[in-house]
Amino acid sequence: MAILVVGSVAFDAIETPSGRRDRCVGGAATYFALAASYFTPVRVIAVVGEDFGPEEESVLTRRGIDTRGIEHVPGKSFFWSGSYMKNLNEAQTLNTELNVFQSFSPKIPAEYRDSEYLFLANIDPVLQADVRGKMPKVKMVCGDTMNYWIRDHQENLARVLEHLDALLINDAEAKMLAHENNLVLAARRILAMGPKALVVKHGEYGATSFFGEQAFLGEKCRTPFRAPALPLAEVVDPTGAGDSFAGGFFGYVASQPQLTPAVFRRAMFYGGVMGSFAVERFGTERLQALDPKEIEDRFALFRQLSHLD
């Protein structure tokens, strides 16, 4: 079952204690699409500038990702630079240049219309809402956002949250969105804004899901669920870990015939698995050529990590 994703496709400049890269292909939609591509077909809606050529696009097409919805326009691609020198768990944004995304009006190619799953990756909530509105019949819609949009675009973001089955964000952003420092209370407030489920990512400490009052997965799923993250000896570059988590999570959900509580929980493990690969190398390097067996082996490791007889 195909997932349609809208979000940033970008160039990133990254510095971490392991080194620096001045220009990697990045963006939330890129990481999401690569991670999800190991589970299900993926189609991307985004815009790039003249600096984004066939070589850059091949990062996606080599994984069989459908890029017919990536528009090429005059100008520069989205550019983000971030540093993890102070804290490996949270990016410090040094610069965000929206560039061609500033005047982007998403168009859905005819070939994408039958997509059953929609992921609103990190980008201007106005664009997220626009794509959501153009895909009214999807079976499930999940979304992500970040401090940049939470801070100054709350009203637009509220219009996106109303229509989400699940929101996936990191814990600092959840607390910022809810204006609440306690995670459980923050989750309650966010669920009251619309999403039926909330998946809070805790970086190196895993992820927790919370469920709202609305019907979703049935009564059995009211208890929060926590999935682990893999303790790693070296985190080379945390960029994209959250988007890769989302790709593993939603890719696995879309690959299954039905969304059950068990599928949701396994999806959280697959999210952790893909996030753990993403951070092992700079940029998208590790996600570009994984062997499906590596994914299954790591999933088994995640099971062992948290198994109780």
Q: Which window, 24-32, 50-58, 107-115, 135-143, contacts ligand AMP (CB under 6 A)? A: 24-32
Complex with ligand AMP: residue 96 or 256, whichever CB lies closer: 96
Nearest CA among 195, 15, 157 for reference residue 88: 15
Contact set for ligand AMP, span 27-46 (CB under 6 A)? 27-28, 31
Residue 243 found at the interface with ligand AMP (CB under 6 A): yes
Contact code string over 54-83 relative to ligand AMP, x by CB under 6 A = --------------------------x---
Does residue 96 bind ligand AMP (CB under 6 A)? yes
Q: For the CB of residue 100, give the shortest distance to ligand AMP in the complex, in Å.
A: 13
Any contact of residue 112 with ligand AMP (CB under 6 A)? no
Question: Which of 40-48, 160-168, 175-183, 233-241 is the region at the interface with ligand AMP (rule: CB under 6 A)?
Answer: 233-241
Between residue 167 and residue 226, which ones bind ligand AMP under the rule CB under 6 A? Answer: none
Question: What residues from 117 to 156 belong to the interface with ligand AMP (CB under 6 A)?
Answer: 122-123, 146, 148
Closest CB to ligand AMP among residues 172, 193: 172
Q: Which residues bind ligand AMP (CB under 6 A)?
A: 8, 10, 12, 26-28, 31, 80, 91, 96, 122-123, 146, 148, 239-243
